[in-house]
Every structure is written in C-alpha cells, then in structure tokens.
A and B are shown apart, each in its own frame.
Chain A
Amino acid sequence: MTSNSRRTGLVFFPAFDWAISPTHPEREERLLYTQDQVLEEGLLDLDNIVEYRVRPASMDDIRRVHFCVPDEESVTTESHLISAGGCLVAADAVRKGEVDNAFALVRPPGHHAMRVVHGNRGFCNINIEAIMVEYLRETYGVRRVAIVDTDCHHGDGTQDIYWHDPNTLFISLHQDGRTIYPGTGFPDELGGPNAMGATVNIPLPPKTGEEGFFVVMEELVMPLLEKFRPEMVINSAGQDNHFSDPITDMNFSARGYATLNARLQPDIAVLEGGYAVESALPYVNVGIIMAMAGLDTRCVKEPNYDRDYRPQSPSVTQNIDRLTARLRHVFLEGKYEAPTHTEGDVLERKREIYYDTDGIFEKQRELIRVCPHCAGALAIESAASTGNHIFAVRIPMEVCEACRRTALTWFDQASQNAFSHIFLQDRDRGRYERIEPKRK
C-alpha cells in the first residue's frame, strides 16, 4: 500500500435481476463485466477497500427531495429504492468515519429525475444523489455541498432540484446539449434568483478528449470548488463520455476518469450513466475505485485504447479554451448580470418537460419568492398527460419567516382549486404532506 492510500468504501449493487426492458441499455448485465473486472483485479482483497451491503431507502428519504405523483410507491420500484439506499450506505460510511471516501456503484441511475416525478425520464425515476444529499443534511447536519456531474448527459434533474439552493453548488460537464439528450445545460442556466451562480453548466463539444476534460478541471471546476468551500464534494460519476460509449459522442478514457477523480477527490462518487458495458465500464469503474483508494492507476488502460483513442482535434481544443475563458469570466470573476428583482417579488417560470422513457408530457408553472435571507418559498403547479394535476409547495431549510408565511398561504389557497394532489415539503420542520382533495 502506498503512503497516499485512502480507505475507500464500495457499495456495489448491480441489480442482476432488474431491467427497464429486455433490450434496454439499462438492463441486468450492465455491471456484470464491471463485477468481473473488479473481482479479477482482487480489489476487494485490499485492506483499504471495504465493501458494504446495500439497504433500501425509505419513502421518507424520497419525500425530502421529490413530489412523486400520485405517490412514491407508484413511481418507484424496489430497484430504485435500493439504488438510492446504496448511496445512503456510502454516505453513512463516510460520515461515520469508517472510510475516507466511498463509491456507490449502483443502478438504476437518477440524475435526470427532477423535483416533480410523474414517471421515468432518461432512465431515471428518483434522483439518487439528491436523496443522498438531503439525507446528509438531515442526519449529519451537512450544509454546503458541491455536486460535480461528469456524466455525458446534462444532469438536468439534479440541476432542477438545486436550482434555487445557494448551499448546493451544481457543476455539470457534458456533451453540448445541441447534440444530445436532454438538450439542456447551457452556460446561461446558472440558477434561480436566490441561488444565482450556484449552477454551472460546462457544455463540451463532441469529441472532447482527455486534454479538454483536464483543462476544464484545472481552469474551472477546481477554482469553483475552492471559491465555494463545500463541506462535501459529490461526483455524479456517469461514464458515458468514454470513447466506446454507444449512445454518446465523446472521447474520454478510463485513465482519464481515474485522473479526473484523483484530482477532484470526491467524498462520495455515485455511478450515473455509461452504457459501453463491456468495453468501457469495467475499466472506468476499476479506474475510479483505484483512484479513490489512492492507488497507482498507470496500468488502467482499455485493451482497445491504442487502437481507438484519438487525441482531440485542435478545433475542439480551441472551442474549449474559448468556453473556459468565458465561463471563468462569468463564474470566477462574478461578471454575470446582477438580478434586478427586489425582495418579496414572486417570479414565475413556465416549462414543458418530456419523460422520454415513459412518454409522459408535463407542463409546469413555478413560483419562487425572491429572498436574500433563505432559498425562498417555492411552489410548483404541474399538469401531466397522465391526467394528474398537482400543486406542490416547498419550504427550504433555514427558511425565513416571510418565506414560510408565503409558502403556507400558497398551500392553503391550493385547497380551494381542483388539483388531483396537493403537496407540502417543509424541509425546515420536517413536515411532509400529501392531500388528495375530494373529486368533484
């Protein structure tokens, strides 16, 4: 064991008996070859790698984050609860000091699941990172958290959940939304009025290689973390930036992921996407585990690396350099347009959301109270093609009196309207309600 070795917790849950559908990429053997590689490497025999058994998350864990329509039971299966629960096991291991860091190598993923859940979008039902972050806050009193999402797809679900939260820095590195699902994640999406600059999107051009990722890490991600000073760093460790991934167009590698992880040094990493189940995942996962444990990753190299990996083109390098300079200007030098709202304003935002996996169409109207003292009272009216039409109110942690009053007024008024369900998520007092008004 080398002197810089760390104790790493590994929560491995491949869900060998669950798939979205028989030929869907999110299927039984997604982590089969990863398991093979991890076992063959003998990683579990190392003194500084500790494997943990999963446990299912509870409905209460979900209620801290989501408004599930019509209820939690209807939009989750055991597999989602266990995947989220695996993250909670990782969180416990780290916060109890049993390990220095932990990797929840679980499926199904979660980073496309938004605050309101009508069904599955982007292979995700519930947001396993957000459920873990809110558990960390609830159980261990953690306040400032940074989530760095290195999945190839924009982490639009996590972004949505933390859009108004100034205590959560969300950074997403992904393939440019103009070329890939879900089509969002542009630099001008930088957070709600009370949390501006706490959402950072870094859309990378297709074919970005190791070089580009490292530049973004050094020039943007690391300085942003230094500036934000989080108590914990979470890595949403999607692995579909890999050059062999079948549903993306990037050019990253196993050693690249290992190096990125060694630089980022997350307290907890959570597997997200990544569907090159044979040619990428076994090596990327082994690389991440070894990097977290402080082991030498020089020998982590895909068998087809020399044949298939191409250094990124000069034009990609140029694009990334320009993007980095622009984002440094905005986020590190604070040069974004200052909001012109005044305290107490209620801002409205309207959105349409498509659930690709379940084919559900949702219309949202969101209200946020502008507030310099807390994350602000939040209300969401959401109507889905399933026929459900809900109104949901959220009271943030450490809420101010004015925002609490506003939120409770919204909640009371809602009962006079014809919603199928009305929700209250009072994070400050731990009160979670779901009302089903009598149908007319």
Chain B
Amino acid sequence: MTLTRKFDAPEAPLILGLDVGGTQTDAVLISSGDIVAFTKTPTLDDLTATLRGAVGKIMAEAPDGRIVRLAFSTTMATNAIVQDRLDPTGMIVSAGPGMDPEGFSVGPSYHVVPGCLDHRGFEAMPLDREALESAADRIREQGIRTVGLVSKFSTRNPRHELLMKDWVGGGFDHTALGHRVSGNLGFPRRIATTYLNAALHKTHEGFVLAVLRILEEQGIEAPRYLLKPDGGTVGLEQSLDFPAQTAQSGPAASVMGALALDPCSGTTLVLDVGGTTTDIAVIYEGAPLLEPLGVRLGPYLTLIRSLQTRSVGIGGDSEVRVDPAHGLRIGPMRVGPPMALGGPAPTPTDAMIVLGLLEAGDREAAQRAMEGIAGLLGTGFVEAARAVLDRTAYLVAESVRAFLYFINSRPVYTIREVLEDVTIEPTRMVLMGGPAAQLSAPLEQALGIPCSVPPHAEVANAVGAAVSRITSEVTLQADTGRGSVIIPEVGLQELIDSDFSMEQGLAMARRALQGALIEAGETQEEMQVTVTEQQCFSMIEGFSRTGRNIRLKMCVAPGLIPEWPSRRPFP
C-alpha cells in the first residue's frame, strides 16, 4: 500500500499552533492533518520576546508552504491578572434588593448609585443621574480613563447600563458594559468580568500590536486567533473588546489537543501531567464538559465560559517526602527540578529515571534521591521508586474521583433530568504532557480503565490551539408580557408582539449567533449550532395567561476546524 503525502506540494497550506506554558513554549506546524514540525523554546518573562523566539524557531523549521492559519494560547491576560498589572479602572454599579453591592467592590474606584431593575427587566427605581455623574467626576478626578458600567439584571434589560454610558460624560478612553460580557445571571461575576475586560483593555491592545509586528516580520498574513478557556478561538484583532476571555486558556488547550489527537469516543478522561500540576478534564461523547457558570481568574469569579477542568498539585517535579505520620507524600509543592537535573529534592521524575522509564539527567543523582526515600520507608531504592510512582498515580486517581463526584452531584432542576440520571463515568483515559507515558501503567492500575498516550502528546496543547474552531454563545429571553426580546451578548433588544413564538426565537438567536461568529473573526458560512437551553413558561395572573417567557441558549460548542481530520479509533 502506498501512502501519498499531500504536503509534498510546494505551496502546501500550513497551520501554526502555539502554546505558552509556564516553563516551555511549544509550537507546531500542521499540514493536511499531520504534524510536520514542532519546537520547544523556554518561556521568558517577556511574553513578546517568547513569542518572537518561538515563532522564529518554528518558521525556520517550516517546510515549503504558506501559513493559512495560526492560533495561540497565551498567558498575557492570566499573567496581568495574577501579577495585578491591571489598568486603573473605575466601576459604577447599580443594584437594588439583595446582597449589599458594596461587598462586590473591585478596582481602585468603585461606586454604587441608586437605580434598580427587577428580574424581568422592569424598572423598579429610576437610575439616579446626579449620583452617576458625581461618581464619574470622582473617577475622572483620580485620573482614571477606563470605566466599567454594570447594573443588576442588565441581561434582562440593558437600559440602565446604556443610560450610564450616555451620562458618564467625556474623558474616558474605554467603556465596558456588563450586559455584553455574558447572557448568564450573576451580578457579582458580571461586575468582576466587566472590570477585567476594562482593566485589561490597554495592555491587551499593546499585546495584539506586538503580535501583529512579529507576524509582519515573518511575512505571515494568514487569519490569526487566540484560544479561550472554553476551548474555542477568537480572532486576534477581534479580541480587543473582551480581552479577559483569552485568559486561562492553557487547560483548554490540552483538552482540545486530546480531542484532536485521540478519537475520544464514549466518555474519555483527559489527564495532562505537567511539572508542577496535573490537569483533569472529561470529554463526553466528543464534547468537553463546560463549567456551569464561568472560569475563575486569579481571585475573580467570572462569567467567562470555560471548559470544566481541575488542577491538582501533583506533577513530575513535585517534591517527594516521607512524613512520619502519613508516610509517602507527593506535592503539592515543587521546590525545583528533579535531583537528576540538579534539583534539591526527590521527585517522581527521579523515580522514573531509576526504574529505567526515562532517559534524562544524572542517573546516579536520581538513585540517590530514591535511596533517601528508601531509607525512610525501610525498603530498597527500586521498591521506593515504584512506591513513589504508585503513590503519585493513587493521588491523581483520588482527585479524579473527587472531580467525577462533583460533576455527578451537579444539581438538576427538572423531573426529567432526575429520572434520566446521566452519570459521567469515563471508560478510558488519554494521557498527555511530559511524564505521561511513564505514568500510564500506574494510572491504569489506580483508575481501572485503559490508558492511551496519543502520538505527539508532548505538544498536544499547541495542536489543540492550532485546530480549535471559533466558538460563540447567545442567550435569548423573550417576555411577551413586557413586549420585548433581548440577546445581551450582541446588544440586541427589540419590541415583540404577544404572539412571539419559539420558532421566531430560534431564528432570531440563530441570526445573532451567526453575527457574533463573524464579529469573532469567523469566515466559514456553515455553523454547527447546539441549542443548550430551550424553555417556554406561561405567565399567569389570576388563572389566565398574560404572556409567555421564552428562554433560549444557543452556541457553537468547542470543536475542531473542518480541515483537521478526526482521529478514528484503531481497528
């Protein structure tokens, strides 16, 4: 049988994927569904320099061909949040009954002004213009030029936020509005998300310009994307208004990498074993599970859609110790590289080297590491090494079980869901990351399910970024009693008749989703729509129907670009 390789053609289209990790930055080049080159470069403190170095290195290895697409998973937004390098941003919010809004204070200049909308979006108290203007004055007096405006229930009616925008007056370079960040409810999260989008705006803009310069230097003109925590991408230039949605994309990159490199049939557990941590995720019938509300970014709970992942403080470089009371302990601290690589403390990697599972560093140093452990355990050093790997796998398995328990105890609100009682129970796992292959046997043992390590697992994150499609979500709420329909994410608000139907709602949401995808940089016409929520409630007053409340959620779920051939299970 003869295999014909399409990328032999001189102008073969290439896709570039790049993932900035904590210590290493991976880059891959893909042609016709194959990984044709990959590089690893150290991650530097300067993100732009890291990107320039990584792009330069992979382009030097590129076969003849034209880059037709590139996608990055970067740490710009995450680092800015974690290191508190946020632009000074003023926040003005209006609340109404419930939790004290002062408790949601964020940023250097936070102001609560009177005004209130109820849960259906009716105005319960007009917005206090005088209070708003004086809050804006105070923000300006502090020399702050970025502002975020949020009202409670603005996803039901954006009127107060739009009034705020009109009334804050001039002098602000950038204004972020709460109802545009998500259609989900959650006032404290809306405040935090709006704040982050506003406070990252300037820094992110600088980053986008820097990336554009690097691409220009390399002569790359192809469409370029950033990865988001939901495993979808957004166009680089289109990410400016909502920069916070590009934070914390690393875990999503590995899940999307698993989806790209493995058939992921049935229910698949994804484990990405790194130096310090292991990330856990679940792919259910080809669809990665999503967080119910949104991702946590540093100290902030947000409304940014995200894949559901858990990070456990156990990796190849975790510190191994023997505790008199509890025996063998692995992690959660990393005190340095493995002893085989000159580090100060024994690690699981040292155990792998001792057992001959890994060729790296100084074998004798690794043995010394395990001898230290063996002395405390009262065993030989080979047994100690085996015990370390078994314990590592056991601890990861415990975290996996806790994660699955958490997923399966998620509350449900309908009788149908209680009776269906779908339980997420993985039947196989995909292992990725540096020490993946070495841990597969102990993990199979600890979890009782077969394990596979796909080819190129060591650069799975970069592959995941490279081949993930654009995602978007819209939320429609039609209230015929109030006579309005709203899709907050796209700023749509229209008057409707009392006979507005579910069919009309579905068509309207579909159009809005199409628009949102184009806004996010989508160029393909066809879209794979998933309806994730579809409810219609009658509104009754005194035993007769006065209206209808239609609630729809529609999205393009995380998935792979059509150019990427899905991996079929081996026969």
Contacts and interface: CB of A to CB of B under 8 A. Distances in A.
Nearest to A22: B538
Given A299-B97, A303-B96, A53 B120 contact: no
The listed residue with most B CB atoms (<10 A of its CB), out of A12, A23, A56, A301, is A23
Contacts of B360: none
A293 B152 CA distance: 22
Contact of B413 (A12, A52, A246): A12
Nearest to B542: A246
Interface string B198-216: 0000000000000000000
Contact of A53 (B410, B535, B537): B410
Contacts of B543: 23-24
Interface string B82-112: 0000000000000111111100100000000
Nearest to A19: B538
A231 interface: no
Nearest to A13: B413
A333 interface: no
A254 interface: yes
A302 B549 contact: no
Contact of A41 (B98, B410, B411): B98
B124 A303 contact: yes
B414 A17 contact: yes
A37 B293 CA distance: 15
Interface in B501-542: 535, 537-540, 542
Nearest to B103: A296
A276 to B, nearest CB: 11
Interface string A270-292: 00000000100011001000100
Contacts of A22: 538, 545
B325 interface: no
Contact of A82 (B118, B186, B418): B418
The listed residue with most A CB atoms (<10 A of its CB), out of B96, B98, B153, B549, is B98
Contact of A278 (B119, B125, B410, B538): B119
A15 B535 CA distance: 13
B413 A35 contact: yes
Interface string A43-55: 1110000011111
A278 B120 contact: yes
Interface string A157-181: 0000000000000000000000000
Nearest to B408: A53
B9 interface: no
B411 A12 contact: yes
Interface stretch (A26-34, A190-198, A372-380): A26-34
B415 A40 contact: no
B423 to A, nearest CB: 12
Interface string B149-166: 000110000000000000
The listed residue with most A CB atoms (<10 A of its CB), out of B101, B124, B411, B542, is B411
A78 interface: yes
B116 interface: yes
B415 A283 contact: no
Interface in B199-242: none
B144 interface: no
A28 B537 CA distance: 7
Given A17-B414, A40-B153, A283 B188 contact: no
Interface residues of B, number: 44
A12 B413 CA distance: 7
B298 to A, nearest CB: 15
Contact of A78 (B99, B418, B538, B539): B418
B450 to A, nearest CB: 30
A16 B535 contact: yes
A36 interface: yes
A68 to B, nearest CB: 20
B1 interface: no
B4 interface: no
Contact of A290 (B99, B118, B301, B411): B99
A15 B414 contact: yes
Nearest to B409: A53
Contacts of A12: 411, 413
Given A17-B416, A27-B540, A40-B186, A303 B118 contact: yes
A298 interface: yes
A12 B418 CA distance: 13
A232 interface: no
Nearest to B153: A40
A41 B201 CA distance: 27
Interface in B397-428: 409-416, 418-419
Interface in B110-167: 116, 118-120, 124-125, 152-153
A44 B535 CA distance: 22
B195 interface: no
A43 B187 CA distance: 10
A217 interface: no
Interface of A: 12-18, 22-25, 27-29, 32-33, 35-37, 39-45, 51-56, 78-79, 82, 246, 254, 278, 282-283, 286, 290, 295-296, 298-304
Given A52-B409, A53-B409, A303-B118, 16 more contacts: A15-B413, A22-B545, A23-B538, A29-B539, A32-B537, A37-B119, A39-B185, A39-B186, A43-B99, A54-B411, A282-B119, A295-B99, A298-B100, A299-B101, A301-B97, A303-B97
